[in-house]
Structure 1
Amino acid sequence: MGNAQLTSRIEQLPRLPKAISELLDIVNDDNADMDLLAEKVSHDALISAKVLRMANSAKFGRSREIGSIDEAVIRLGQQPLRILVLASAITSAIQVAPGINPIEFWGRSFEVAFFSKELAKRAGLRADTAFTSGLLHNIGDLLLALLEPAKWQQVQAAVQQGADLNKLCLHLIGDTPAEVAATLASEWHFSPELIAGLRYQDDPKAANPASGYAKMLFLAKHLLDEWDKHPVDELTSWLSLETDKQGIHLQMDGLAKKLEGLVGSGAEMAHHLA
């Protein structure tokens, strides 16, 4: 396949089925009628099943199990329902590459998404945009594994020995995972703000104009990678230090406790989508 950039081979990127594309159009429309969204979801058996499994999970569930999308609309409210529909649609549209554990892959995606969402709320950014960018943040890895499997295996082996992921991807494949993720998001007609967040997630300072969502992604990934290295009673001071390093101003009250409650929640969500 050569070293031609994947972003120049748009036809090889996953296409959204029409039904899922229509669902995402509704999800991304702030003025969309939730009854219309429920109706569209109800017409897709696979997505309906995923939404209901997640709606009845410990994270969203209540004392009584719900059995219809209409009930999910009432129980969950607009933003949580949009998040569940979005997650179900995206995970239904993209094949997981051979050799990649789907629970681990989507579990990491969800944890970054939940962290990004919480950070964004405290930074005055849109929580739903931050969640979506988190859910899509590592989709470039998956696409590189699907479209360039031999070279991706080379990259992974070298990274385990200490090589730089992005430099090696540029050399062997011609694109970074972040650029591939941004290209896919553009093809799927997500917002320019979300696309910029994906593109600059590994280097927020390179974004011009500045991208708050790139900062949220960068910080969310870093916090998750380092979380277990810090005692609980030191989390608040560590979080303050890390946000200051990135030039991010957040409402810090209760943040450590909130994020601690989100650690491990990604795997649960991934199980419901499998």
Structure 2
Amino acid sequence: MSAATLSNAFPVIPGFDKNKFWKDTFSTAVIAKALAKHTSVNEESAFTCAMLHNIGELLLQILKPDECALIALAIEAGEPRLLAQRETFGFDYSQVGVALAKHWDFSESFCDAIEQQLDPLSYEEPSPEAVLIRLAVFASFAWGAKLPPEMIVARFPPALVEHIHLNKEGLVEEFEGMIEAGKELGRLMSD
């Protein structure tokens, strides 16, 4: 299944930018895979977990579009997405995502990555894929804020870096390439 086919498999949801969702998803996945090369975590596992990390958000958008539109307004007003989701639904997208992953009988490592992605080190046995998702989201956000690669890599949260034994050597030089690869894959989604 091609990236564009995957994107078109989901309905049009008023007020939800499906292209941005998929661009962000693919970017996160490509970055997680690139970071995994600097750890002992399997690159394909990191990519796939990151591809699925926000599947709960997509499900919420499909099943609860009116509530999600209100959440979008709260976010525009400055409220953090997680807080808005928890206030509106009583749960957030990661909890929906892990419930869906368990329903689909995903492996424990995929379920753990989806469940733990927001704060992996708060779990007794942190998922290395969840740590990579967290770092990939951090990197993507920081790049979007126009921070230079040296600053982004230097500011990776030390506890996350240590947990997966991320070797940062060479990351600065690879950084722009991994971001561009994620963007290119994301562009395929909107074709």
Give 2:111's aligned amino acid: I
* 1:117 maps onto 2:33 in alignment: yes
Give 2:74's aligned amino acid: A
1:189-200 alignment, distance < 5 Å: 189-200=105-116
* 1:239 maps onto 2:172 in alignment: no
Aligned-pair RMSD on alpha carbons? 2.3
Aligned with 2:140 (options 220, 224, 228): 224
Identity of aligned residues (%): 28
Q: TM-score, normalised by structure 1?
A: 0.61
Count how many residue pairs are aligned between Structure 1 and Structure 2.
187
2:78 equivalent in structure 1: 162
2:177 equivalent in structure 1: 261
Q: TM-score, normalised by structure 2?
A: 0.85
Alpha carbons 2:27, 2:185 under 8 Å: kept: no
Higher RCO (C-alpha 8 Å, min separation 6): 2
Give the Cα–Cα distance (whole angstroms) in 2 for the partners of residues 218 and 110 of structure 1. 14
1:164 positional shift:
2.8
Unpaired stretches in structure 2, ≥5 consecutive residues: none
Alpha carbons 1:117, 1:128 under 8 Å: kept: yes
Give 1:188's aligned amino acid: W
Aligned with 2:58 (options 122, 142, 165): 142
Alpha carbons 1:196, 1:207 under 8 Å: kept: no
1:254 positional shift:
1.4
* 1:186 maps onto 2:107 in alignment: no
Q: Which has the larger radius of gyration?
A: 1
1:2-21 alignment, distance < 5 Å: none
**Equivalent position SS for 1:264:** helix
